[in-house]
Structure 1
Amino acid sequence: MEELVQLIEVLRKSETKDNIIKKARKDSKEYKLISLIYSGVPINDEWAAKQLYSASASDFRYKMLKHRVKTKLYDLLLLYEYEDNETNLVYIKEQQCQQILLKSNVLFRNHKFLLAAGLANKALTISDEYSFTNQKILAYEIILASLAFTGKQNTYETHLKSYNDLLLRKLAEREAQNIYQSVRVSIFKSVKKRKHIVASLNSKVEDVRQLWNRAGTYEAFNSFYKLSMLYYELVGDFDRTLQLTIDSEKLIEDGLVNQYRFDSLYNKFILVYAHLRLKKYNSGLEYAKDYIKLFDEKSINWFSFQENFFLLAVHSKNYDLAEVLLHQVFNNSFIEKISVSAKERWRIYKAYQVMLNHEVTTNSINPFLLSLPEYSKDKQGFNVAILILQFIYYLQKQDSEALLYRIESLKKYILTHLKDAFSLRSKIFLKLLILIVTEDYDVTACRRKGHKLYQKLLETPTPGDAFAEIEIVPYEHLWEHILSTLENKYQ
């Protein structure tokens, strides 16, 4: 059943999606089974067999029905049409190229050599424009095979030279892809093995760079780009990440990398993210203000980009801009389309904005921050962010009983979860929170006794992305905010 569900999920995205239903008669079992799946209601084989045949899933009739439907759905993949927009342009051209090659091959098998070569040349033109190495090789092979029957030796020799050169470049391209893919699949191993892989990555990046120089193809560049991004992310080298994004944009401008194939929006997303991690807030905001116009507000990518935009605004203390960005996000009806974890993050961002504006009162309620979200079990970042927010929430409400309870939770959390070096900043800051309660909310004592911890916080850099704790508001800014709260509400 899962196979049928996945096939229909794919076919429903096609411009010819109506064919899924139209291909079956409305009074047929095939139509009924497809309609059940198409409805989106979760079903399984036992339930479907009972609905259709009043039998079990092992019934021969039901098994044969599934086989027929599956065959037809796979056949419909041949008629799949991508939505005609800029995002799908490369897929559309690749599909067009493959269809031309299929037709050309049929002509060749029927000894229509000039017609076959003519069509293959069209595929060659598209392959050149969009840097489709595989399709270009197939086009050359049909052209060469056709020319062999025409007596056009000079033309044949010219194409053969180009073909042989392309094969050498394809070998380099494939080797670059192999290196990237082998690294990509290996990072899912244990932390110990991952560290071993990271140690050898710098040389692998250089190897792939040289292979790209030899191949000169988009796929070879893409392997270099992705492997470099992966490496810089794992070691937290955002300077080189930023430089890679800038260099890549320059390569596109100079025509050295295929403009149609390169995911420029992703590159711009990473460029802004790198500015955030490098604390280059002003220039990052300038880029973000410029690039946000390129993202479709109905896309998940828009919401992802807005997260970095929002964090840049908060980290630069531009809270008015942060408020505007929050308003845009929560007034975008497509927020319901994003993942549960993404929605949770936006709720946390909003809560921090409320807290920074001193909008918490004794009558405020805390409806969604009393428990830690499941999705962040693998990273302490959001757990710590919520613990801090809970503490400041009760501090602004002057709820000393809740705060006394909180410090025990913070102590336990530090001992249990903040043992690694990359958690040091969070560990220091939680100790500052504990100090507030132990010093009975005396701002002078907190400032004096917390000075050494605060200096240590200033000297401790944020960790690399692979182990990053997410500071929605920099801890240094939060400490200033907390001292301000103590002065205003506890003196």
Structure 2
Amino acid sequence: MKELTKLSKIVSSVTGYAYASAKDLKLYCKEELFLKNLEEGAYKNDADAAADLYNSGPDDVRYKMLKHRVKNRLYGNLNFVDPDKSGLNDVRKKELECNNLLYQANVLRLQYEFGLVTSVANKALVIARELDFTDLEVNALELLNLSYSELGSSKKFLTVQKELRHALERFIKEREAVSIFQHVTVQLRKSIKTRKEFLPELPEIIRQLEDLWLSSGTFSAFDAYYKTFIWYHELEGNFKEIISITVNSLKLVDNNKVNSHRFDLMYNNYILVYAHLRAKDFSNGLQYAEKNLSLYNTSSLNWFAYMENYFLLAVHAKQYELGNILLQQVFDNFSFSSVPTTARERWMLYLSYFRLIYPQATLTGNEAKNPYLLSLPEYSKDKLGFNVAILTLQYIYLLEKGDSEALLYRIESLKKYISTHLKDVFSLRSKLFLKLLILAFTEGYDAEQSRRKGENLYRRLIATPAPGDAYAEIEIVPYEHLWDLILQILTRKENGIDTRLK
């Protein structure tokens, strides 16, 4: 049932085929009714479908035969995909068009219509070369090679044979690069332990991939090298290297060294902005973020993802007025409600932090329901990457409120979190920062004593670089800025100034 349901939706979306309307269903055969209900998700299982269509069980031979006919029909309809109605991007539409032409050429080949084969195969070849589909280029050249041979066109045959030999050499290297990248993908998507063990192998793999790209010149070989390079340096925290390859890639596209149709500008610019954030190059990062924002449709998930990095750049650069504008754009976006729950929770966390550092921030009604995320647990696997951020936010809220009893409990939670979850080298910044929070408590929340006795920890924090993306807790506001903020809160409290946010 799952296979049929999935197929029915795919065929409907990529062929533009419309099933009968509900009021006309009775005029159509059971196949049509079955397909319509499958697409609408009317059946949870075979028992539901058999009961509806035949008033019987799923073992009814009539129902089994119907399923067989419908499955064959759906798979058959995949041969009639309309690129313009497929919902694919322009590159994938072209790929689909090229494959359709090659299919047509092969049908004509089986009919020995080699004159027609050459006409259709040449059309496919133009598309394959324009988009750098090396595999499809080889297929088209093989059809042309065969056809000119059968037609006795010696001069054309020799020309195409030479082109085919060159294309095959490039394709073999491309396939090797793609195969290596697929191996890398499998290894890096395993456990963190496996990932760590595999990382030392990546520099040599990257060198191999670069050689395969330079010798083949194909887009797919470049893409394998480019993505592996970014992945490795992201895991290792070498964000300046990522800035270098993303900037250089744009130059390669401009100089026609990399296929401009295939190169994903949105992904490249997202990574470019993110790398500037992690490399603490805020000024250049903000320039790129503003420059490339127009690439993203404001109703798309990509826009919201891009805006996260843009907003964090503004916060880390202490450009709070810009951060306020960006936050307002996000929360005013009519598509915000369609963003995945985890992403919406991140934005609520960003907003809560932003209120701390920029009290005059424009607020939304939703934020007031749980401004400091006090209902969240102290540690949660589904909040990985933000647990320290949540703990810190709760700590600051209780500090402002002056709730000594709750703060004592929170300090114990911080100590437990450090001993349980911050044992590795890559957690050092988070560990140092949480120790500063504990120190403030042990010093009786005395601002001057906390500053003086925390100086060593603070200097170590400044000297400790952020770890690679695979392991890092997200610093929504840099820990150094938060420590300064906490000392300010302590000073104001000592002077009898109400520190609570209004």
Question: Given the two structures, how large is their TM-score scaled by the length of structure 1?
Answer: 0.92
Runs of at least 5 residues in structure 2 that lack an aligned partner in the other structure: 362-367, 496-502
1:18 equivalent in alignment to 2:18: yes
Percent identical among aligned pairs is 47
How far apart are the structure 2 equivalents of 1:454 and 1:85?
56
1:302 equivalent in alignment to 2:299: no
Task: Note closer, same or farther for the CA distance 1:20–1:2 as it changes in structure 2 (3 Å cut).
Answer: farther
1:488 equivalent in alignment to 2:492: yes
Runs of at least 5 residues in structure 1 that lack an aligned partner in the other structure: none
1:66 equivalent in alignment to 2:67: yes
Name the amino acid aligned to 2:18: D
Aligned with residue 410 of structure 1, among 393, 411, 414:
414
State the Cα distance separating 1:202 from its structure 2 match: 0.6
Correspondence list, 1:291-370, <5 A: 291-358=292-359, 366=370, 369-370=373-374
1:445 corresponds to which residue?
449
How far apart are the structure 1 equivalents of 2:400 and 2:360?
9
Name the amino acid aligned to 1:3: E
Q: Secondary structure at the match of 2:467?
A: coil
State the Cα distance separating 1:19 from its structure 2 match: 5.2
Aligned with residue 459 of structure 1, among 446, 453, 463:
463
Aligned with residue 397 of structure 1, among 395, 401, 404:
401
Over residues 169-227 of structure 1, what are the superposed CA-to-partner deviations in whole Å (9 max), with x where a residue is unaligned? Answer: 11111111111111111223344433332111111111111111221111111111122
Task: Note closer, same or farther for the CA distance 1:88–1:321 as it changes in structure 2 (3 Å cut).
Answer: same
How far apart are the structure 1 equivalents of 2:64 and 2:143?
42
State the Cα distance separating 1:352 from its structure 2 match: 0.9
Q: Decide whether the 8 Å contact of 1:20 with 1:73 is kept in 2.
A: no
Q: Which moved more, 1:211-220 or 1:103-112?
A: 103-112
2:36 corresponds to which residue?
35
Q: Decide whether the 8 Å contact of 1:380 with 1:417 is kept in 2.
A: no
1:155 corresponds to which residue?
156
Name the amino acid aligned to 2:351: K
Q: Secondary structure at the match of 2:386?
A: helix
Q: Decide whether the 8 Å contact of 2:243 with 2:276 is kept in 1.
A: yes
1:8 corresponds to which residue?
8
How far apart are the structure 2 equivalents of 1:377 and 1:88?
35
State the Cα distance separating 1:470 from its structure 2 match: 0.4
Name the amino acid aligned to 2:389: A
How far apart are the structure 1 equivalents of 2:477 and 2:20?
50
Q: Decide whether the 8 Å contact of 1:379 with 1:469 is kept in 2.
A: no
Over residues 272-297 of structure 1, what are the superposed CA-to-partner deviations in whole Å (9 max), with x where a residue is unaligned? Answer: 11100100001100000011111011
Task: Note closer, same or farther for the CA distance 1:46–1:336 as it changes in structure 2 (3 Å cut).
Answer: farther
Q: Secondary structure at the match of 2:475?
A: coil
Name the amino acid aligned to 2:439: L
Task: Note closer, same or farther for the CA distance 1:272–1:431 as it changes in structure 2 (3 Å cut).
Answer: same
Correspondence list, 1:4-403, <5 A: 4-14=4-14, 16-18=16-18, 27-40=28-41, 43-83=44-84, 88-358=89-359, 366=370, 369-372=373-376, 377=381, 380-403=384-407
Name the amino acid aligned to 1:69: V
Question: Given the two structures, how large is their TM-score scaled by the length of structure 2?
Answer: 0.90
Task: Note closer, same or farther for the CA distance 1:108–1:31 as it changes in structure 2 (3 Å cut).
Answer: closer
Aligned length: 488
Q: Which moved more, 1:75-84 or 1:91-100?
A: 75-84
How far apart are the structure 1 equivalents of 2:315 and 2:104?
57
State the Cα distance separating 1:416 from its structure 2 match: 1.4
Q: Decide whether the 8 Å contact of 2:108 with 2:116 is kept in 1.
A: yes
State the Cα distance separating 1:161 from its structure 2 match: 0.8
How far apart are the structure 2 equivalents of 1:184 and 1:405?
43
Q: Decide whether the 8 Å contact of 2:316 with 2:477 is kept in 1.
A: yes
How far apart are the structure 2 equivalents of 1:44 and 1:264?
42
How far apart are the structure 2 equivalents of 1:185 and 1:47?
39
How far apart are the structure 2 equivalents of 1:441 and 1:125?
72
How far apart are the structure 1 equivalents of 2:132 and 2:20?
33
Q: Which moved more, 1:148-157 or 1:395-404?
A: 395-404
Q: Decide whether the 8 Å contact of 2:145 with 2:157 is kept in 1.
A: yes
Q: Decide whether the 8 Å contact of 1:358 with 1:396 is kept in 2.
A: no
State the Cα distance separating 1:61 from its structure 2 match: 3.3
How far apart are the structure 2 equivalents of 1:75 and 1:335?
39
State the Cα distance separating 1:240 from its structure 2 match: 1.3
How far apart are the structure 2 equivalents of 1:264 and 1:20?
41
Q: Decide whether the 8 Å contact of 2:253 with 2:259 is kept in 1.
A: yes
Q: Decide whether the 8 Å contact of 2:219 with 2:259 is kept in 1.
A: yes
State the Cα distance separating 1:154 from its structure 2 match: 1.6
State the Cα distance separating 1:27 from its structure 2 match: 4.4
How far apart are the structure 2 equivalents of 1:78 and 1:15?
9
How far apart are the structure 2 equivalents of 1:475 and 1:160?
63
Name the amino acid aligned to 2:458: Y
Q: Secondary structure at the match of 2:335?
A: helix
RMSD: 2.6
